Amino acid sequence: GAGAAPANPPNYLFAPRNRPEGKVLETVGVFEAPKQHGKYETGQLFLHSVFGYRGIVLFPWQARLYDRDVASPVTEKSENVAGHGSKEVKGKTHTYYQVLIDARDCPHISQRSQTEAVTFLANHDDSRALYAIPGLDYVSHEDILPYSSTDQVPIQHELFERFLMYDQTKVPPFVARDTLCAWQEKNHPWLELSDVHRETTENIRVTVIPFYMGMREAQNSHVYWWRYCIRLENLDSEVVQLRERHWRIFSLSGTLETVRGRGVVGREPVLSKEQPAFQYSSHVSLQASSGHMWGTFRFERPDGSHFDVRIPPFSLESNKDEKTPPSGLHW
């Protein structure tokens, strides 16, 4: 009969290391079993399952996920979200994470994901600027492949040592510094209210996360700003290319704006089996405290034919009860 199967050796995570004589893989850490239940803690190292970068969890938060691919039972009373003749969708709680991306991996993912994902309204009175913190991202629970490492500085990011410190008695062995706790406390109420919207058309899945960024006074009127993060995923093996975007933006002040344009953020990304996803962020401002957006992305197939992919409708809310909009870093 067959002998006993050998015990599985640990599953090691490797990264290429540049050497003059060629690339050598070096051990980065050991994979752990992904969590089916519960959430990852601050300091958890992970590999992003879609974009492949190394990162570390800063903190988790609960979002409301509205998934249009999962039909709600009609009898249930469900929260209605900006429904334009579309089916009612029930929000489900889902865990997301604010994470730091390893700077060594940013160049490799820049074609597929904008790593300067997180932008803020500067809150100096003399500045109206949006500013970005590079190498921060929002990651869904199922995108995390956890690993452990014996390295005391496993992630290269300018904020790593400002936010986290090594403590070998803890699991994971990185704990939040006061600066991270203060930043989390200030930003968490803002993240806590985020909704995530998801819809699939012809095997292209669109995920949208809108965030309220605050209000600015300009020429005796109020301008409200939101940022929205969009991920496009090709769930099929056929190569497709994004060619156009077509947005409708409705403001509570009664205006309906149509925006058409080529590509997104100046790009016309190709989604293939090898690189199935693309992610970007953009901004929208309204002269009203709320509104909603919806639309379509036009894709092209290799044979030259086109098809439209729905962008799920999402509402822009200004969290009026929140006293302070999200803030950047103040040391």
| Domain final residue, candidates 146, 163, 193 | 193
Residues 187 and 134 in one domain: yes
Q: What is the pTM of this model?
A: 0.84
Residue 305 has phi, psi (to 5 degrees) of -75, 155
| Residue 324: per-residue pLDDT | 59
| Residue 23: per-residue pLDDT | 60
pLDDT digits (tens, 9 = 90+) for 295-317: 999 999 999 999 999 999 999 99
| Residue 81: per-residue pLDDT | 46
| Domain final residue, candidates 193, 212, 241 | 193
Q: Is residue 23 part of a domain?
A: no
Residues 209 and 287 in one domain: yes
| Residue 116: per-residue pLDDT | 58
What residues have CB less than 8 Å from 276, skipping those under 6 apart? 50, 233, 234, 235
Say how far apart CA 305 and CA 66 lie, in whole Å: 30
| Below-50 pLDDT ranges, the chain | 5-6, 74-85, 126, 323, 331
Q: Is residue 328 part of a domain?
A: no
Task: Please choose, from the candidates 160, 146, 190, 150, the residue with its C-alpha nearest in 3D space to the C-alpha of residue 38.
Answer: 146
Q: Domain range holding 169? A: 30-70+90-193
Q: Give the CA distances from residue 306 to residues 238, 239, 267, 302, in Å, rounded to whole numbers and listed in that order.
A: 13, 12, 17, 9
Total number of domains constituting the chain: 2
Whether the Cβ atoms of residue 227 and residue 209 lie closer than 8 Å to each other? no
Residues 151 and 229 in one domain: no
Residues 166 and 44 in one domain: yes
Q: Give the CA distances from residue 53 to residues 33, 46, 95, 222, 234, in Å, rounded to whole numbers and listed in that order.
A: 18, 8, 19, 39, 19
Q: Is residue 20 part of a domain?
A: no
| Residue 221: per-residue pLDDT | 86
Residues 117 and 235 in one domain: no
Residues 173 and 154 in one domain: yes
pLDDT digits (tens, 9 = 90+) for 217-241: 878 888 898 989 999 999 999 999 9
Q: Are strands 54-67 and 91-101 parallel, antiparallel or unpaired?
A: antiparallel
- Judge if the upstream peptide bond of residue 134 is cis by omega within 30 degrees of 0: no
Residues 171 and 154 in one domain: yes
Residues 160 and 216 in one domain: no
| Residue 21: per-residue pLDDT | 57
| Residue 87: per-residue pLDDT | 59
Say how far apart CA 204 and CA 214 lie, in whole Å: 32
**Domain containing residue 253: CATH number:** 2.60.40.1470
Say how far apart CA 232 and CA 297 lie, in whole Å: 10
